[in-house]
Amino acid sequence: MDEKLRVIMLGSGQRPDVAAEAEQLRPVISKLARIVASDFTGSVDMSKVEADVAIVLGGDGSILRAAHQMGQQQLPVIAVNLGKLGFLADLSPGEVSDVLGDFGRGNLTVVEHLMFDTRVMRGGEVCFEKLGLNEVAVQTGPPFAVMDVDLYVDSELVTTYSCDGLIVSTPVGSTAHSLSAGGPILRKDLSAFVVLPISPHTLTNRPVVDSATRVYELVVANPKRGTSVVVDGDVLCTLRPGDRVRVEQASVKFKLVAAGGHSYYRTLREKLGWGGRLNLNGES
């Protein structure tokens, strides 16, 4: 009986370096595992593929696409960085063989990370929904003007933000859009959400961190023509008056294989240039 690990390979084939690296890694991976599926378009449904681990090539954008492709069947991910910052994808191609071997022997930890479900409720019915990993944002859109967004937590009105948009971010997403908008950095394995207004009209509005066990609802009473719900960078829908954007933790978790020598604070220190200068090449 073939006891090799079953592997799927994913990445962005629009990048020539990803396609080239995938071809170089195939024989290396095949010595240790059986490649049962691969996709470099980012569009193939991988939720029904029976496998033990996914090897994802690219950057954090490739990781997001892979998480969406796997849907309700999240496999442990070995993330290979061919991008720039790479908060999630921080392994080099040269480490794949050792990491895959250690994973197959059960020597590595798989760390689970919060994912969320976004549902747009219209007339009491779900009209749009999507699984996400980084963040959901309600953004004003054209004609660009400040809008009012009501935030409810467990059905209780918290406040009304006057802003260009409102972000609800996971810890994984705290180093993405949320960070660029002035949000805090959360350790990736925490079970919490960050709620952060984009360009708030009043300086007293600050990011809020709350439990992932709560249900968050965003309501725009008077949306603009282009007011949209954006999940992990993709537009889910435009909003109509009365729509409620409901965000809550998903039943599945994103699973990342933790390799030795790649600690959380080391990644932050190197990727954010805490030691001095910003490091785009992942070099120590």
215-234 per-position pLDDT tens digit:
999 999 999 999 999 999 99
116-251 has which fold? Tumour Suppressor Smad4 (2.60.200)
Percent above pLDDT 90 for the chain: 75
Catalytic residue among 2, 17, 39, 60: 60
CATH (one of 3.40.50.10330, 3.40.630.40, 3.30.200.20, 3.90.1860.10) for 5-108+259-271: 3.40.50.10330
Answer for the pair 51, 76: CB distance below 8 angstroms, yes or no.
no
Mean pLDDT of 39-63: 94
pLDDT surpasses 80 at 69:
yes
- CA atoms within 13 A of residue 244's CA, in its CB half-sphere: 17
- pLDDT category at 1 given cuts 50, 70, 90 is very low
Percent above pLDDT 70 for the chain: 94
pLDDT surpasses 50 at 284:
no
Question: Where, residue-wise, is CATH 3.40.50.10330 in the chain?
Answer: 5-108+259-271
- pLDDT category at 279 given cuts 50, 70, 90 is low
Answer for the pair 232, 133: CB distance below 8 angstroms, yes or no.
yes
Cα separation of 188 and 185, whole Å? 9
Give every CB contact of residue 153 below 8 A, 6+ residues apart in sequence.
210, 214, 215, 216, 217
What is the rounded average pLDDT for all residues in the chain? 91
Answer for the pair 89, 267: CB distance below 8 angstroms, yes or no.
no
Strands 109-122 and 125-132: antiparallel
pLDDT surpasses 60 at 159:
yes
Mean pLDDT of 114-122: 98
pLDDT surpasses 70 at 280:
no
Active site residue 52: no
Cα separation of 70 and 14, whole Å? 20
Question: pLDDT: is 165 or 277 the higher one?
Answer: 165
pLDDT surpasses 90 at 196:
yes
Longest dimension (CA), the chain: 65
Question: Where, residue-wise, is CATH 2.60.200.30 in the chain?
Answer: 116-251
